[in-house]
Amino acid sequence: MSNSDELKMTRSSGNVFQDLGIPNAEEHLLKADFAMLINRIIKEKDLSQENAAKILGIDQPKVSNLSRGQLSGFSIDRLIRFLILLNQDIEINVKPHTQSINKDSNKHYSLNYCAL
């Protein structure tokens, strides 16, 4: 490898969407995390795309899009609903950012969604 072929490394923020300058990076990362979890559950349950589509109330091509990370047609709310339909309990914890310094920094809120 010549000097002109040297690799340049850049430290990541932990969010590839932010690193690439994509607007709404946090939303994109959350959707990607939910999609990976949904796909893992579908695989663990050994569901075909057709069976997963029936459970999720969508058509098979949308399950295919979900499995390939094409998430533009899926809101965070919809992905959470899919997790519930796959019999997952959802917990959302809200707390101050770790770098936040104020007297209310000990406040912590939890929301729980359970599969019915």
The string of pLDDT tens digits covering residues 20-78 is 888 888 888 899 999 999 999 999 999 999 999 999 999 999 999 999 999 999 999 99
Query: pLDDT grade, residue 4 (50/70/90)?
Result: low
Q: What is the pLDDT of residue 9?
A: 84
Domain architecture of the chain: domains with CATH: 22-98+106-113 (1.10.260.40)
Is the predicted pLDDT of residue 8 greater than 90, yes or no? no
Is the predicted pLDDT of residue 97 greater than 90, yes or no? no
Q: What is the pLDDT of residue 115?
A: 55
Q: How far is Cα 85 from Cα 116, in angstroms, rounded to an integer?
A: 8
Q: Angle 28-33-39 (CA atoms, 0-180°, nearest 5)?
A: 120
Contact 83, 112 (CB under 8 A): no
